[in-house]
Amino acid sequence: MAHRIFITATNTDVGKTYTTLTLLRHYAALGYRVAAFKPIETGVVGAPLDGTALQQCVRELNPELADVSVDAIVPLQFTLPAAPFVASGGTPIDLARLDTALAALEAHCDIILIEGAGGLMVPVDPEMAIIDLIRHFGAKALLVSHCRLGCINDTLLNLMALEQSGVSYEWVLNCRDTDDAFREVSAPYFEARYGEFYLLKRNLSELAAALLA
């Protein structure tokens, strides 16, 4: 079985797809065969935007998946831009279908990055949230957090959920060029509490290694 890494986040629009694409390219440059999987994407009109970006990247990086379809990467697609539970009308998720799709991709890779929808506690169906999917897949989680004001609270709440779930994880802050105040208003806390912590642009190599440990 390939290394399974599940990319989740403190909320939507934090940078899951950007982080996934960055890690795919990094691992491929190290010589690994890579694949991407997004079990569920909502807000799909025509083609899934995130799934298409992942498809194009995987086709470029892994010759064994040069012809992979976007439907193979995103098996469950819904039109409404909402939590999967709402977008599907509360229909139970077909886990067997997801397992089959994941196994088909795994046959062609050493590392597979699984991108979630929204954040950890987003409801998938009446019984499961995204955090339960991570456990179901037996994956290591990567929590991506933002660097805007409020990132301390958002990060700590999500880390607490991961700790309580028993899921193995790493976490990283995805700072954007507009996050000028992070160094002054948020970084001092993270430095005081954790000493060293990962910033995606600063610590990509170290983070990638930790995810495979």
Q: Which residues of the chain have pLDDT under 70?
A: none
What is the third-level CATH fold of 3-212?
Answer: Rossmann fold (3.40.50)
- Read off the pTM: 0.97
pLDDT digits (tens, 9 = 90+) for 128-156: 999 999 999 999 999 999 999 999 999 99
Maximum pairwise Cα distance, the chain: 48
Any idea what DSSP says for residue 177? T
Q: Find the helix packing angle between 187-194 and 151-165, rounded to 10°.
A: 30
**Closest to 5 (Cα-Cα) out of 101, 130, 142:** 142
Q: Which of 16, 38, 140, 201 is catalytic?
A: 38
Q: What is the pLDDT of residues 161-172, one digit of tens each?
A: 999 999 999 999
* pLDDT of res. 1: 81
Question: Looking at this protein, which amino acid is placed at residue 211?
Answer: L
Helices H / strands E in the chain, number of each: 10, 8
140 tagged catalytic: no
Q: What pLDDT is recorded for position 123? A: 98
pLDDT of residue 98: 98
**Residues 82/88/93/98 CA torsion (nearest 10 deg):** -70
